[in-house]
Amino acid sequence: MSSSSAPSETPDEVLARFDRAGGPVDLTDVAEALRAGAAEGEPELWKADRLAAEIRPYPGNPSPWGGYFGPRFSATYENGEVVDSPPLAAVDADVLDAWRLRADGLTTPTLKAHYADLIWDLGPKVLTGARREPHFARLAIDAYRAASGVPSEQRLHAFMRLRRALGLAIQLDDQALVDAIRAEILQLHGVALSEGELWWQAYDILTEQRKSGLTEAERTHLVADLETVLAGYADAADPKRFDVHFVERTGERLIKHYRQLKQSSDEKRIHAIIARAREHHASRAEALAASSVLNDSMESYRKAGLADDVERVRRLMQAKVRGARDQMAEISQEVRISFDEVEAFQARIVEGTVVDAFARIGAEFMLRRAQLEEQLATIGDAAPLMAMIPQQIMGEDHVVATVGSIEDDPYGRVLRHAHFSLSMNTPWLGWALEAAIEHYQLHAGHFVAWSNRAGLFGDGALLSDGLEAWFEGDHVKAVHVLVPQIERGFRSLMGLIGRPTSKPHPKFKGAQVAVTMGDGLYSKETVAALGQHGPDLAVHLATLYADPRGPNLRNEVAHGLLARDQMEQQTVLWLVQTVVLLGLWRAPGAAATAEGKASS
């Protein structure tokens, strides 16, 4: 149906055109027709119907208004102000009265359900002290049920309307009505299953609604249907039917079901089916994609308790990762920096005393978590697709880490962005250290004296050896000496702020082992004890030393995984910056200097 309306039409005439058409009505078409009419005529005359068409449902989640219906869109500005379009304040008593007339007078189920449901959901929010009006909830239920039975209606819309009808019946506490709607959902499920589509909808609706009245027999029947669907999509012998994504989606539901029943054998059985499907899917993919899928397959085999298959797939994945590395192409972008910019930057670094220079190098190059999160939010707005796509980090022969979307894995994305920020800042760090060394005629002893002010590195002898190696250009030695010393320094810092520096041995009763850098950095209590900049120091050190989503230097060195060509000047620069950064910390008793300045 055309959504245009002649200027001479009234709101009644526009809605009458849709109401007479019969069959499903697209509310988007109605909204366009009403907006066009409002632009030509008196805005107040069109207000109630235009609002009804622009206010949309939020199925499955509370709307910004805390119910089923909400604004067409909602935005929150940096100052915290929330702007809705249309705003809830636009709905008043007169609008509700107009909606009541529409709900009682319209005949097309889609329109009738919409107006009636608006009154039920928004009435108490608009009129202080007003009670819900059950008459309109029942009108909406009847209309939703009628709309779901229209033969030409898409199945998904039918399920959505029955979902809402069930929710309204539960709100009315009408068990007979709940039972009737549940029966209709199960009937629609049978039709959808026979057509090979939307086989999960009935299961999701009836298990997510705790008061749906789903009987054990009905639940068992739905689970059996899911098992049948799973077997069909997991059949590797039928390439036309095989679909790893449907296997995963069906399997996730069955795993949750069996976990709730504490049926661990069935839970493991489903994990094994998913694992085999992923492995088969990987066998048909190129190395880069296959390595990712095999990593997931290995995890599913682990959850299934199949240790031999875990190791077998691990070997397959290692071979695929090696092949994937050959498929990867380097992506680079040139950044031009003028000599004048560098000179001005270096001049600022060496303003004042050598203490000022050390403080700038330590503090200004420390990552700031809030800034990283703000930058990620900007990236998410500018490139929403990139913000949604997961990332995988490849090692020599294995998947090092998987990073989810900004929404699903915010801290993982912070660490990846932190890694990128470190790379971009490396030249500037080199110029800063170069300027300080040249201007103040520094040698390794000066760095040791600054960094070990609080005694974090014991007598400082090994710290001195590592810094001397840096000055001499022996980067391999510098890495192997400084990385363990940095972990020692951070552990000493943990002790100074009252956090434990040892923990029970995982295998030997009565024995203790030193806590690792990761233990401290991922402890909320430790981060809080570090004070105002605890989150900044934690993300800085975690990115560099203790998380696979960054360089992970502590673990790479400890396990002999850091290649010789990675032990280069750029890596050592950040080790030096870290010891300088740790030198900023002063014990609480020394929080005020002789000049009365607060300690960093």
Any idea what the Cα angle at residue 516 is, between residues 581 and 450, rounded to 5°?
A: 20
Task: Please list the residues that pair with 399 across neighbouring strands.
Answer: 394
Residue type, 61: N
Q: pLDDT tens digits for 462-471?
A: 999 999 999 9
Q: pLDDT tens digits for 542-558?
A: 999 988 888 889 988 98
Count of CB atoms within 10 A of residue 18's CB?
20
DSSP per-residue letters across 553-571? HHHHHHTT-S-GGGSSHHH
397: pLDDT confidence band, cut at 50, 70 and 90? low
Lowest mean pLDDT across 289-298, 553-562, 579-588: 579-588
For the cut 70, the answer to whether the pLDDT of residue 594 exceeds it is no
For the cut 90, the answer to whether the pLDDT of residue 169 exceeds it is yes
For the cut 80, the answer to whether the pLDDT of residue 354 exceeds it is yes
Q: What pLDDT is attached to residue 324?
A: 64
Count of CB atoms within 10 A of residue 55's CB?
24
Q: pLDDT tens digits for 235-258?
A: 999 999 999 999 999 999 999 999
* Mean pLDDT of the region 390-401: 64
For the cut 60, the answer to whether the pLDDT of residue 4 exceeds it is no
Q: What pLDDT is attached to residue 392?
A: 64
Count of CB atoms within 10 A of residue 305's CB?
14
Q: What pLDDT is attached to residue 329?
A: 59
What distances in angstroms separate CA 151 from CA 140, 145, 155, 162, 427, one per listed residue? 19, 12, 9, 15, 66
φ and ψ at residue 156, rounded to 5 degrees: -60, -45
Q: pLDDT tens digits for 304-337?
A: 999 999 999 988 888 887 776 666 556 666 778 8
Q: What pLDDT is attached to residue 592?
A: 37
Q: Where are the domains of the chain?
A: 1-153, 215-329, 349-586
Contact 137, 156 (CB under 8 A): no
Q: pLDDT tens digits for 127-147?
A: 888 889 999 999 999 999 998
Highest mean pLDDT: which range of 38-42, 151-155, 301-305, 586-590: 301-305
477: left (phi over 0), alpha (psi -120 to 50) or beta: alpha
Q: Is 401 helix (H, G, I), strand (E, B) or coil?
A: strand
For the cut 60, the answer to whether the pLDDT of residue 391 exceeds it is yes
476: pLDDT confidence band, cut at 50, 70 and 90? very high
Q: What pLDDT is attached to residue 457?
A: 94
What is the rounded CA–CA span in Å between residue 238 and residue 236?
Answer: 5
598: pLDDT confidence band, cut at 50, 70 and 90? very low
Look up residue 319 and give its two tokens.
């071979």
What is the rounded CA–CA span in Å between residue 126 and residue 242?
Answer: 51
Q: What pLDDT is attached to residue 326?
A: 64
Q: Is 489 helix (H, G, I), strand (E, B) or coil?
A: helix
Count of CB atoms within 10 A of residue 334's CB?
4
Q: What pLDDT is attached to residue 472?
A: 94
Contact 415, 547 (CB under 8 A): yes
For the cut 70, the answer to whether the pLDDT of residue 351 exceeds it is yes
For the cut 60, the answer to whether the pLDDT of residue 6 exceeds it is no
Highest mean pLDDT: which range of 36-40, 42-46, 60-64, 580-584: 580-584
Q: What pLDDT is attached to residue 151?
A: 65
396: pLDDT confidence band, cut at 50, 70 and 90? low
What distances in angstroms separate CA 20 from CA 2, 54, 107, 113, 419, one per listed residue? 14, 21, 8, 16, 61
Highest mean pLDDT: which range of 82-91, 323-332, 382-391: 82-91
Strands (E), 451-511: 502-504
- Output 286 or 98, whichever has higher pLDDT: 98
Closest CA to 423 of 504, 544, 328, 523: 544
| SS3 labels along 213-252 | CCCHHHHHHHHHHHHHHHHHHCCCCCCCCCCHHHHHHHHH
Residue type, 158: A
Give this prediction's pTM.
0.64
Q: Is the peptide bond before 11 cis (omega within 30 degrees of 0)?
A: no
Residue type, 59: P
For the cut 80, the answer to whether the pLDDT of residue 72 exceeds it is yes
What is the rounded CA–CA span in Å between residue 217 and residue 541?
Answer: 55
Contact 444, 361 (CB under 8 A): no
Residue type, 72: R
Contact 4, 36 (CB under 8 A): yes
For the cut 70, the answer to whether the pLDDT of residue 153 exceeds it is no
Count of CB atoms within 10 A of residue 530's CB?
20
Q: pLDDT tens digits for 253-276?
A: 999 999 999 999 999 999 999 999
For the cut 50, the answer to whether the pLDDT of residue 588 exceeds it is no
Share of the chain above pLDDT 70, in %: 91
Q: pLDDT tens digits for 497-531?
A: 999 988 888 888 888 889 899 999 999 999 999 98
67: pLDDT confidence band, cut at 50, 70 and 90? very high
Mean pLDDT of the chain: 88
Tokens 């998947």 correspond to what residue?
399
**Angle, to 10 degrees, between the axis of helix 11-21 and the axis of helix 27-40?**
160
Q: What pLDDT is attached to residue 276?
A: 97
62: pLDDT confidence band, cut at 50, 70 and 90? confident
What is the rounded CA–CA span in Å between residue 106 and residue 1?
Answer: 18
The dihedral of CA 107, 110, 113, 115: what is its sign? Answer: negative
